[in-house]
Structures are given as C-alpha cells and as structure tokens.
Amino acid sequence: MTALSLLPQQDARTRRDRLEVLTALINGPEFDAVLRGGVLNIPPTHPVYPWSCVIPDCERSRWKHYAMCSVHAEQWQEAEARGMSRAQFLRGAEPLPRAQEPEVMMCRICPERPAFNLRLVLCLRHRNRWLSHLKRNAGAGEAEYEQWVADQQPCPGYGECRADVCDELAVSPLGLCGSHERGYLRDGRPGGARLPKNYFAGFERHGRVVPIDCDDQAGFRAWCRAQLPVHRTGTVNLRGLRPLLRAEFQWGMYLHGLRSVAVWHLTWVQSLADECQRRDVASLAGLEVSAVRRHYHQRMVQEMQEALRKGYFTPSDTRDAGYIETEHFGVRFPNRSSYVDLTCISQRWLRDLLWTTSPTCCAHRRARAVPSRWTSCAARAPS
Ligand SMILES: [Zn+2]
Ligand SMILES: [Zn+2]
Ligand SMILES: [Zn+2]
C-alpha cells in the first residue's frame, strides 16, 4: 500500500485548491508554453519530447522506440550488425523527405475537407465529380487531372468532429472525422445516426444543410462523449481528462523535462492519458500505481505523483500520512527518490517520533531552509 492511499479522501475543495495552484504554475513565465492547452502540439525537435528522426535533415518522424524513422532504424540495425559505430552511421546516412501521413491529408481542392481518396487526394464529392468527368469524356485520362483540379471550386467543410475530445475535421455531414466514423460503424452505430440517402442531390447541391436521422439522440451523444482521441504523431490530446488531471499531466511533463532521467515517448503519454480517461480518473494523487497496466506507465505515474506530492502536501501532512518528503527540507539525493516511506511502522507515536527526529528534518530546523517555489506559489493562490 502506498502512502498516497492512506491520505484522507480528497474532497471537491481540495481538488479545487490544487487546480488553482497548478493553474498558477502552468501560467507562470518559466513553464514550457507548448505544454499548455487541451491539445499539445509538440515541435519535432523539442528538447524533452523530440519526435523527428535523429538523422540530420531527415524529415520523417521516429518509429516505435527508436530515435530514427523506420527506414533509418532498419538501415541502422543492419549497419550495427556489420560492426559500424552509431556516430559513423549518423554521419553517413542520407536524409529522407517527409512521408505523407494518410490520416492528415486534405482534399486538394477543399481546404476544410479531409481527403476521401488518398491516391487522388480528393474529398468524396470531388472524387465523384472526377469519376463522372472521366465517364463523360471517354478519352480523358489522368493527364488531364491537373487541369481539371485547377478548374474546380472548393466545397464548404463539415466542421470539427462531434466526438468531444477530437480536434480533427469531419469527413461527411454526419459530423465525424474518418477515424471516429470508422469507429462508429465498428461499434454498430449506437443511437442509429445516419444520413439521408442521396444527401448530395437532395440537400448539398441546393446549398441546404443535410439533416441527420437519429433513432436515439442521447445514445449518439453518449457515444460521442465516450470516445478517445485519435493518435497523431507529435500531438498529445488531453481534452478528455478532468481539469485537475489535465493540469497534473502538464505539470508532470514539465517537471520531467527538468529532471529527464528517463525517456517518455509521446505515444506513452497519450496512451496513459487514454487509460485515465477510460477509467475516469480525477487526480493522479489518488491513483494506485499497481492498478496501472503497463510498466512504463507505472513509472511515469510514480514520477508525476512524486512531483505533485511536494506541492500537494505540507510537511505536517506528510507526517500524518507517514512519510518524509526530503525536498521539503531542502535535501535532494542524487539518483534517489525524495520519498522516504515510514508506513511500515504501525505505531503512530513511534512513526511521529522518527519523523520529528530524522536527520533530514532536524537539519532543516537548524538551517531554516527557504520555502520552496511550490510553497510560495501556493501562498499566493486565491483561497
Ligand atoms: Zn530518418
Ligand atoms: Zn473537395
Ligand atoms: Zn474525430
């Protein structure tokens, strides 16, 4: 059992206070601005969370746990087997141009419509127009394609995806992005939302809004609310998290960058956020680490909990909970946790005595350490 689970139940007031403190820290001038907001768009060469291939000038993104794109990672495996050093390989590898990611391709004609046909890079409407153009002009071939594209008018978009967490654009009047529309069909259309037959001829052609037929509006809305974000390279979507949990992720990611003892891949951060959203976690402070499925997620949760503990609990709180937070007393051990667990001592009086007389706490009282940044920020936050 961790000390965190011994703490009193967090009530709404505590959560609100913690959110205020974290919000003040996240809005502070030292905080990394790319970690603010609901969707974090991380630059490819971010110092803590880089995702571009490490080969100089290669424009492709990293693959799996490698620091290289899939092509360079495979070349490197072969080169390493032949006995080449990493430095030699990095110097000699040829950079590659950016690979188009099929999910983010937009129609070549409509700036607000995602591509439906990836070979032609056209939305459904323009794909159909191109097919009828080919039918009408029996001799027309792909050579004419560029001219035909130049003559086309863009169609208006369908707005943002209706899935609450999603920031992608919808692919049809149903209002879902490609990924969520496929998911909706896979789930058997909960709520029965569907488009009228021939909606283009009946509505779009005349500039009319396409109505959605729905057997159960509430069922469709509930499905939209429950969706997880679409995974995108270089993006962490925290929209589905409760406000306190989102702030804890942002603050945890920021502090991780200051320590940077282990690599956190962005896909790991996203999948941990997904797990928390699925389980409706309110705060990392109440989360049992052992209940988290993957090992790398467990280590991330532990690191974030440790960072939060220093701000959430005063020294006297930690005595009540049965542990010493050495950084409260200005003591930091290199490569060691600042958390000293005393919960193995069952008698409260003995635990308190040890807490009060531990060398760390005594040294602090003698030195009267300066209050930490956390303490001063918490003091400034409105009650
Ligand atoms: Zn590469
Ligand atoms: Zn189009
Ligand atoms: Zn979506």
Instruction: Write the pLDDT tens digit of every residue in 294-305.
Output: 999 999 999 999
Q: Give a yes or no: residue 210 inside a domain.
A: yes
Place of tokens 């009319």: 208
How far apart CA 243 and CA 241 sit, in angstroms, is 6
Q: Please tell me the predicted confidence (pLDDT) of residue 215.
A: 96
Q: Please tell me the predicted confidence (pLDDT) of residue 272.
A: 97
Q: Give a yes or no: residue 115 inside a domain.
A: no
- Domain extent, residue 28, equals 3-43+233-380
Mean pLDDT, residues 48-72: 92
Ligand that lies nearest to the alpha carbon of residue 121, given by its number in the listed order:
2
- My answer on whether 199 and 258 are in the same domain is no
How far apart CA 360 and CA 339 sit, in angstroms, is 12
Buried b (16+ CB within 10 A) or exposed e, 85-96: eeeebeeebeee
For residue 4, pLDDT over 90 is answered with no
- My answer on whether 262 and 351 are in the same domain is yes
Q: Please tell me the predicted confidence (pLDDT) of residue 371.
A: 41
For residue 347, pLDDT over 50 is answered with yes
Q: Please tell me the predicted confidence (pLDDT) of residue 307.
A: 86
For residue 375, pLDDT over 60 is answered with no
pLDDT category, 81, cuts 50, 70, 90?
very high
pLDDT higher at 309 or 248: 248
Mean pLDDT, residues 362-377: 46
pLDDT higher at 211 or 335: 211
Mean pLDDT, residues 245-263: 91
- My answer on whether 269 and 375 are in the same domain is yes
Q: Please tell me the predicted confidence (pLDDT) of residue 243.
A: 96
For residue 156, pLDDT over 60 is answered with yes
Total domains, the chain: 2
pLDDT higher at 381 or 172: 172
Ligand that lies nearest to the alpha carbon of residue 237, given by its number in the listed order:
3
pLDDT higher at 324 or 21: 21
% pLDDT > 70, the chain = 79
% pLDDT > 90, the chain = 59
Q: Please tell me the predicted confidence (pLDDT) of residue 259.
A: 81
Please give the distance, rounded to the nearest whole angstrom, from the Cα atom of residue 336 to the centre of ligand 3. Answer: 42
- My answer on whether 166 and 267 are in the same domain is no
Ligand that lies nearest to the alpha carbon of residue 53, given by its number in the listed order:
1
Please give the distance, rounded to the nearest whole angstrom, from the Cα atom of residue 126 to the centre of ligand 2. Answer: 5
Query: Residue length, the chain?
Result: 383
pLDDT, tens digit (0-9, with 9 covering 90-100), for 267-282: 999 999 999 999 999 9
Contact 3, 341 (CB under 8 A): yes
Of 232, 256, 282, which one is at a domain's C-terminal end? 232
Ligand that lies nearest to the alpha carbon of residue 75, given by its number in the listed order:
1
Please give the distance, rounded to the nearest whole angstrom, from the Cα atom of residue 43 to the centre of ligand 1. Answer: 16
pLDDT category, 372, cuts 50, 70, 90?
very low
Please give the distance, rounded to the nearest whole angstrom, from the Cα atom of residue 329 to the centre of ligand 1. Answer: 46
Q: Please tell me the predicted confidence (pLDDT) of residue 344.
A: 72
Q: Give a yes or no: residue 207 inside a domain.
A: yes
Strands 323-325 and 235-237: unpaired
Please give the distance, rounded to the nearest whole angstrom, from the Cα atom of residue 88 to the centre of ligand 3. Answer: 43
Most distant CA pair in the chain, distance: 93
Please give the distance, rounded to the nearest whole angstrom, from the Cα atom of residue 73 to the centre of ligand 2. Answer: 36
pLDDT category, 329, cuts 50, 70, 90?
low
Q: Give a yes or no: residue 303 inside a domain.
A: yes
pLDDT higher at 328 or 166: 166
- My answer on whether 190 and 240 are in the same domain is no
Mean pLDDT, residues 334-348: 68
- My answer on whether 257 and 356 are in the same domain is yes
Residue 200 CB contacts under 8 Å (≥ 6 apart), including other chains: 125, 128
106 pairs with which residues across the strands? 114
For residue 233, pLDDT over 80 is answered with yes
Please give the distance, rounded to the nearest whole angstrom, from the Cα atom of residue 91 to the centre of ligand 1. Answer: 12
Please give the distance, rounded to the nearest whole angstrom, from the Cα atom of residue 44 to the centre of ligand 1. Answer: 12
- My answer on whether 329 and 247 are in the same domain is yes
Please give the distance, rounded to the nearest whole angstrom, from the Cα atom of residue 64 to the centre of ligand 1. Answer: 13
Please give the distance, rounded to the nearest whole angstrom, from the Cα atom of residue 72 to the centre of ligand 1. Answer: 5
Q: Please tell me the predicted confidence (pLDDT) of residue 358.
A: 62
Please give the distance, rounded to the nearest whole angstrom, from the Cα atom of residue 270 to the centre of ligand 3. Answer: 15
Q: Please tell me the predicted confidence (pLDDT) of residue 364.
A: 54
Please give the distance, rounded to the nearest whole angstrom, from the Cα atom of residue 71 to the centre of ligand 1. Answer: 6
- My answer on whether 241 and 374 are in the same domain is yes
Q: Give a yes or no: residue 135 inside a domain.
A: no
Ligand that lies nearest to the alpha carbon of residue 160, given by its number in the listed order:
3
Q: What's the mean pLDDT when you consider all of the chain?
A: 84
Query: Quick count: other Cβ atoms within 10 Å of Cβ 240?
Result: 23
Please give the distance, rounded to the nearest whole angstrom, from the Cα atom of residue 78 to the centre of ligand 1. Answer: 15
Please give the distance, rounded to the nearest whole angstrom, from the Cα atom of residue 108 to the centre of ligand 1. Answer: 27
Mean pLDDT, residues 6-13: 60
For residue 128, pLDDT over 50 is answered with yes
Please give the distance, rounded to the nearest whole angstrom, from the Cα atom of residue 166 to the centre of ligand 3. Answer: 5
Q: Give a yes or no: residue 102 inside a domain.
A: no
Q: Please tell me the predicted confidence (pLDDT) of residue 141.
A: 72
- My answer on whether 218 and 251 are in the same domain is no
Mean pLDDT, residues 128-138: 87
Q: Please tell me the predicted confidence (pLDDT) of residue 309.
A: 83
Contact 257, 274 (CB under 8 A): no
- My answer on whether 376 and 262 are in the same domain is yes
The H-or-E segment that residue 325 falls in is strand 323-325
- My answer on whether 356 and 346 are in the same domain is yes
Tell me the DSSP string of 89-109.
HHHHPPP-PPPPPGGGPBPSS
Q: Please tell me the predicted confidence (pLDDT) of residue 138.
A: 74
For residue 57, pLDDT over 80 is answered with yes
- My answer on whether 238 and 376 are in the same domain is yes
Out of 93-97, 157-161, 168-172, 354-358, pick the least confident. Answer: 354-358
Ligand that lies nearest to the alpha carbon of residue 66, given by its number in the listed order:
1
Q: H-type helices in the chain, by residue range?
A: 12-26, 70-81, 86-92, 124-136, 145-151, 178-186, 199-202, 217-226, 243-259, 266-278, 295-312, 315-321, 348-357, 359-367, 373-380
Of 232, 251, 284, which one is at a domain's C-terminal end? 232
SS3 assignment, position 377: helix
How far apart CA 318 and CA 236 sit, in angstroms, is 33
